[in-house]
């Protein structure tokens, strides 16, 4: 089984790199898509730096220089230490984050992280209502215009909040930090009925969103996290640049840092158009 998964991922990567000439998107703060005669790769990951948005109570990202410059041996050498919470920036929520016995970060099967994908765009409504919940009705309405969401798809939910990154005040609803800031969070998320419909009726591989949480900012019971976790469905949060994606007809490759026993971790995610 492990060999089969490895071959499948290598094949997917090989096809992507061969078709698109090895041109990766979004490096160095430039364009996030690299066109070729066959399509493009779109980097859906925010860089990790001092501006990276984290939950108000989470440890923020820090990069500490260990060495930089010429050595006594006459060659250049650079190295850094970094520290951060698992959950911040573009990252994975492993099922165990809200489901006892669910997959940890290192246990999420590779086939859950690679596959056909769709973008469900509710940005017009979500930008008008910071507490907007994406419901089953929204998902069904999207299907009426775009076709049925195939089983085992990766579903990306676009609220439009990516336009606010990295302004925490606009993106989260508050720029404050600490426990007292949590009740002030306002951003859209997925409703419980939407989460149940995705896992029970469409058997999706994974769900991603362009906000800080799959549950909306005012949530206190985190029902979507719990529903998706119980179904062993991984979640991608703070997914970047969804405005560069079509509604369907593309693939996603989402590879998190493989933290043994982790409840999540930094994620490098890209779309293959």
Domain ranges of the chain: 2-56+87-272
2-56+87-272, CATH topology level? Glucose Oxidase; domain 1 (3.50.30)
Q: What is the mean pLDDT of the chain?
A: 90
Bond from prior residue into 256 cis (ω within 30 degrees of 0): no
The predicted model scores a pTM of: 0.87
The mean per-residue pLDDT over the stretch 172-193 comes to 98
Q: Give the separation between CA 166 and CA 142, rounded to whole angstroms.
A: 28
How high is the pLDDT of residue 132? 98
pLDDT at 256: 98
- Given 3-state DSSP classes, what are the helix, strand and coil percentages for the chain, each rounded to the nearest 5? 30, 25, 45
Cα separation of 72 and 145, whole Å?
A: 65
238's enclosing H/E stretch is none
The rounded distance, in Å, linking the Cα atoms of 214 and 207 is 8
Structure-block tokens of residue 21: 């000439």
Query: How many whole angstroms separate alpha carbon 125 and alpha carbon 132?
Result: 7
What pLDDT does 40 receive? 93
Residue 58 burial class via C-beta count within 10 angstroms: exposed 0-12, middle 13-18, buried 19 and up: middle
What's the number of CA atoms in the CB half-sphere (13 Å) around residue 44?
A: 33
Q: Given its phi and psi angles, is residue 150 left (phi above 0), alpha (psi -120 to 50 degrees) or beta? A: beta
């Amino acid at each position: 089984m492990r060999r089969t998964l490895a071959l499948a991922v290598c094949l997917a990567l090989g096809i992507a790199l061969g078709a698109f000439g090895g041109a990766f998107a979004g490096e160095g703060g430039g364009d996030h898509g690299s066109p070729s005669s066959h399509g493009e790769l779109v980097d859906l990951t925010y860089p990790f730096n001092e501006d990276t948005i984290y939950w108000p109570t989470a440890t923020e990202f820090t990069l500490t220089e260990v060495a930089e410059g010429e050595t006594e041996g006459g060659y250049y050498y650079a190295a850094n230490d970094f520290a951060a919470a698992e959950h911040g920036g573009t990252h994975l929520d492993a099922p165990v984050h809200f489901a006892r016995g669910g997959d940890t970060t290192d246990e999420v099967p590779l086939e859950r992280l690679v596959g056909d994908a769709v973008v469900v765009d509710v940005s017009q409504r979500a930008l008008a209502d910071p507490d907007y919940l994406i419901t089953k009705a929204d998902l069904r309405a999207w299907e009426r215009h775009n076709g049925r969401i195939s089983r085992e798809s990766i579903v990306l939910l676009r609220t439009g909040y990516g336009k606010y990154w990295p302004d925490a005040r606009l993106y989260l609803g508050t720029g404050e930090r600490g426990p007292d800031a949590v009740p002030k969070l306002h951003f859209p998320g997925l409703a419980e009925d939407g989460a149940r419909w995705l896992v029970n009726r469409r058997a999706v591989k994974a769900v991603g969103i362009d906000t800080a949480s799959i549950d909306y900012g005012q949530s206190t019971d985190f029902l979507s996290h719990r529903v998706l976790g119980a179904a062993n469905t991984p979640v991608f949060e703070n997914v970047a640049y969804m405005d560069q994606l079509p509604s369907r007809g593309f693939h996603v490759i989402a590879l998190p840092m493989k933290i043994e026993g982790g409840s999540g971790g930094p994620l490098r995610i890209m779309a293959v158009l």
